[in-house]
């Protein structure tokens, strides 16, 4: 059977193909793709060279945000994903420690507060819930915040999950719907029939499928290159500090207004801005840094020191707290700051679900849902044109 999405054909399993879809990657995005494809009745196999959430997902904070997104395609994707996360609460998100804590974006000065207000007004027009909070009310929301901040914007729709649990529970739900999961099995090549991708080659053999979904995060460019197509996803390194447990000292996800600019920045050099939030266990996560240094995994003490100082500026109480550990991950950065979602007409049979940068956890359900809708010929309900893989052309173009 064949479904057509625009000019792209999706060939479902027949005698010649063993599975309808193979998803490469067992992180949050790959797990969400597997879940929604299996829920739609397709036969699915997930393949990953490592374990569940062993890449970017396992090094994230679990953010589900609308607060850091300007009106446009990514915000529309985030609003859809937020609704889907709430629908998943009973089976997936609840066990993954979903917290509807809300986000509080604070301004260090009046000029920054004016910029935040303008952004919030535009976001409100796009369907985001926002509330301006005057400086003298900040302690009602966050008693330990520094006392000299002029104000903030509250985003009630912001949420958080434990990212590794989220990926694991999505995969468990996919398996309950018939999906197969093969871990510790690297994909070393893609099967081809002319220009069409017809499956994968792993270190254990060949697997055939009507569609292969590239959900390999920061490594998505190398996966796309196996099919001879160009998807310019680059690793953007970031660090997180984890403190000793403090209980409920910090109630929301709290971050400096500079974080919004850093998210939208294309700079290759180091950028840091204070992002502070507590987990259900009581530890505090401190970020966020961004720098394009390839896959350099070295832990940088100067960057961690800078993050700690910025966090203490927001929450002076953190100056009396021990840091237990630090870790790093690689965000899958795209030059236009939009993910890559959908079938690739340059290599029929290859689909992409990658390039979400630091928003992959939050955007995972919407990405998987859209992939499944397209794969079954259903109306997506959200234009995939801004996320189209072919927007990048060819590497030598």
95-123: pLDDT as tens digits: 999 999 999 999 999 999 999 999 999 99
Mean pLDDT of 250-262: 91
Q: What pLDDT sits at residue 240? A: 96
- Which CATH fold would you assign to the domain 103-156+234-333? D-Amino Acid Oxidase; Chain A, domain 2 (3.30.9)
pLDDT band at 248 (very low <50, low <70, confident <90, very high): confident
Predicted local confidence at residue 3, as pLDDT: 35
Tally of residues, the chain: 397
The predicted pLDDT at position 123 comes to 98
Q: For position 8, what pLDDT does the model report?
A: 39
Q: What is the C-alpha end-to-end distance of the chain, expressed in Å?
A: 35
Alpha helices in 40-92 (DSSP H): 73-87
pLDDT at site 43? 97
How far is Cα 351 from Cα 234, in angstroms, rounded to an integer?
18
Q: What is the pLDDT of residue 208?
A: 96
Give the fold, CATH level 3, of 2-59+164-233+336-392.
FAD/NAD(P)-binding domain (3.50.50)
Alpha carbons 353 and 25: distance in angstroms, whole number: 10
CA distance 250 to 93: 21
pLDDT digits (tens, 9 = 90+) for 280-339: 889 999 999 999 999 999 999 999 999 999 999 999 999 999 999 999 999 999 999 999
Show the tokens assigned to 260.
């919004």
Q: Indicate the pLDDT class of residue 53, thresholds 50, 70 and 90.
A: very high
Buried/exposed 314-323: b ≥16 CB within 10 Å, e otherwise: bbebbeebeb
pLDDT over 50 at 396, yes or no? no
The structural domains of the chain, with segments of one domain joined by +, span 2-59+164-233+336-392, 103-156+234-333
Residue 312, helix vs strand vs coil: helix
Query: pLDDT-based confidence at 10, cuts 50/70/90?
Result: low
Q: What is the pLDDT, as a whole number, of residue 394?
A: 65
The per-residue DSSP string of 83-112 comes to HHHHHTIIIIITTTT-B---EEEEESSHHH
What is the average pLDDT value for the chain, to the nearest integer?
93
Is it true that the peptide bond before 288 is cis, omega within 30 degrees of 0?
A: yes
In the chain, the percentage of residues whose pLDDT exceeds 90 is: 88
């Amino acid at each position: 059977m064949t479904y057509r999405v625009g000019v792209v054909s999706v060939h479902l399993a027949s005698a010649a193909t063993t599975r309808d879809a193979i998803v490469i990657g067992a992180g949050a995005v790959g797990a969400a793709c597997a879940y929604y494809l299996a829920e739609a009745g397709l036969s699915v196999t997930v393949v990953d060279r490592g374990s569940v959430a062993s890449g970017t997902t396992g090094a994230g904070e679990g953010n589900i945000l609308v607060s850091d997104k300007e009106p446009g395609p990514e915000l529309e994707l985030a609003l859809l994903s937020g609704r889907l996360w709430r629908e998943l609460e009973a089976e997936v998100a609840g066990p993954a420690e979903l917290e509807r804590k809300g986000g509080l974006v604070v301004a260090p000065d009046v000029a920054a507060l004016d910029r935040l207000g303008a952004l919030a007004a535009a976001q409100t027009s796009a369907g985001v819930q926002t509330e301006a909070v005057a400086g003298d009310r900040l302690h009602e929301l966050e008693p330990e915040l520094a006392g000299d901040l002029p104000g903030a914007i509250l985003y009630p729709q912001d949420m958080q999950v434990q990212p590794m649990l989220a990926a694991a529970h999505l995969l468990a739900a996919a398996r309950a719907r018939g999906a197969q999961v093969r871990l510790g099995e690297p994909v070393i090549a893609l099967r081809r029939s002319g220009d069409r991708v017809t499956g994968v080659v792993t270190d254990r053999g060949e697997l055939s499928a009507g569609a292969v979904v590239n959900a390999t995060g920061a490594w998505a460019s190398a996966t796309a290159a196996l099919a001879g197509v160009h998807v310019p996803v680059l690793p953007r390194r970031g660090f997180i500090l984890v403190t000793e447990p403090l209980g409920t000292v910090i109630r929301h996800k709290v971050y400096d207004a500079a974080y919004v600019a850093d998210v939208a920045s294309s700079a290759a050099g180091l950028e840091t801005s204070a992002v502070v939030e507590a987990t259900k266990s009581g530890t505090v996560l401190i970020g966020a840094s961004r720098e394009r240094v390839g896959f350099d995994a070295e832990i940088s003490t100067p960057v961690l020191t800078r993050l700690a100082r910025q966090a203490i500026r927001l929450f002076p109480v953190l100056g009396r707290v021990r840091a237990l550990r630090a870790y790093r991950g690689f965000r899958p950065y795209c030059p236009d700051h939009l993910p890559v979602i959908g079938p690739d007409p340059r290599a029929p049979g290859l689909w992409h679900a990658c390039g979400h940068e630091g928003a992959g956890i939050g955007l995972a359900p919407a990405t998987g849902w859209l992939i499944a809708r397209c794969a079954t010929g259903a109306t997506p309900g959200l234009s995939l044109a801004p996320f189209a893989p072919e927007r990048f052309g060819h590497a030598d173009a």
